[in-house]
Amino acid sequence: MPHLDTGNTGFMILCSSLVMLMTPGLAFFYGGLVGRKNVLAIMIQSFVSMGWTTVIWYLYGYSLCFSGDWHGVIGDFHYACLRNINLSTMYPGDAGIPLVVHIAYQMMFAIITPALITGAFTNRVTFKAYMLFLTGWLTFVYFPFVHMIWGGGILAQWGVLDFAGGIVVHNIAGIAALASVLYVGKRRVADRGPHSVPLVALGTGLLWFGWYGFNAGSEFRVDSVTATAFINTDVAASFAAVTWLIVAWLNEKKPTFLGLLTGAVAGLATITPASGYVSPTTAVIIGVVSGVVCYYAVALKNKLHWDDALDVWGVHGVGGFLGIVMLGIFAEKAFNPAGQDGLLLGNSHFFFLQLGATVFSSLWAFVFTLGMLKIIDWITPVKVTQSEEQTGLDTFEFGEHAYEDELESNNPNG
């Protein structure tokens, strides 16, 4: 039995806990951004992923991602229901952690990734359709990309790098969000959100805190690369937050708290794929660029009248794409010998490989998401009716209310 490294094992259990905390953080972030009639409807979409994605992960998700290989695209069922795993089953490599720790850590990624998409179609999608979407999207979009990049599949064989999920998490979720918005269409009832900026701030704080586990933990051991990924995460988020604040201030004539918070999340999303492969100085550049580019991506979305309610495409889709491409430009073996040198150090092949992989992932996520929504629509209506939208999904779908006064306003006798 390979030697168990208790330090690395303890660290990875802590990182798994941090990433788990990000999904409730996302629920608060999204919950604050919507109107009072739809708070619970958006929050449950994050929380139910914590339950249902875990079920799928146990049944077949982990196995499809990390066991076997079918044409470099997907795994097999060797680990289905966590078969063939015992106390002596170790994670491959020299990290010295049990495989069950890797299963838990990667499960937390699987939980939050589809939950990111929900911010795009808030107030418009039935819960039944969402549950089918969650199942199908994990199976046909998320699991293949985990396998292709982190499970030894075809993109990994080609040399594509993605430290903590620029393609695997943010890009495919953001592009799926765009496909969802184009399929579902605009909200027919104007939403009064954001109803609670303090809730958004709480969510941002939890996301930012959890993101250290998301990025630093992706080294799977404690070493200098782990520490670099940690500092890069904070630096990029901070510079992006301040950059977004300044750009918004210049354009909108006022600094906004919401802008600062959104900028931080954009910086976190953009640094994710590069966090363990670049220098802290590069993290500054990535943060500033993401603050500017993601701000204008959201402005473009508004100009094109795409009803991406909570800017999932502009922040995560564009941020993930940008992070992968900038990794292709700025990667340095000096900061991770297991990585690559990027375009600035003469490696144009790696740059074009990263660019090609992101175009491929974007197309896959867009086409599969559209196809799934069409199929789900044959089974059960995806979009709520106008009257249901008017009532609010908290009342219509769940018969619950986030706030006492909302209950009174929906009571004809009250």
Per-residue pLDDT of the chain (414 residues; tens, 9 = 90+): 568 999 999 999 999 999 999 999 999 999 999 999 999 999 999 999 999 999 999 999 999 999 999 999 999 999 999 999 999 999 998 899 999 999 999 999 999 999 999 999 999 999 999 999 999 999 999 999 999 999 999 999 999 999 999 999 999 999 999 999 999 988 888 887 799 999 999 999 999 999 999 999 999 999 999 999 999 999 999 999 999 999 999 999 999 999 999 999 999 999 999 999 999 999 999 999 999 999 999 999 999 989 998 899 999 999 999 999 999 999 999 999 999 999 999 999 999 999 999 999 999 999 999 999 999 999 999 999 899 988 989 988 988 998 876 555 555 443
pLDDT of amino acid 412: 43
- CATH code: domain 6-399 is 1.10.3430.10
Structure letter (DSSP) for residue 403: S
pLDDT of amino acid 190: 80
pTM summary value: 0.94
Q: How far apart are CA 172 and CA 119, in angstroms?
A: 14
Spans of all domains in the chain: 6-399
pLDDT of amino acid 193: 73
On whether the CB atoms of residues 196 and 42 are closer than 8 A, the answer is no
SS (H, E, C) 38-94: HHHHHHHHHHHHHHHHHHHHHHHHHHHHHCCCECCCECCCCCHHHCCCCCCCECCCC
Return the exposure string of 334-357: e unless at least 16 CB atoms fall within 10 Å of the residue's CB, then b.
Answer: ebbeebbebbeeebeebbebbbeb
Q: How far apart are CA 93 and CA 103, in angstroms?
A: 15
pLDDT of amino acid 93: 80
Query: Exposed, middle or buried by CB within 10 Å (0-12, 13-18, 19+), for 361?
Result: buried
Contacts of residue 284, Cβ cutoff 8 Å, sequence gap at least 6: 235, 236, 239
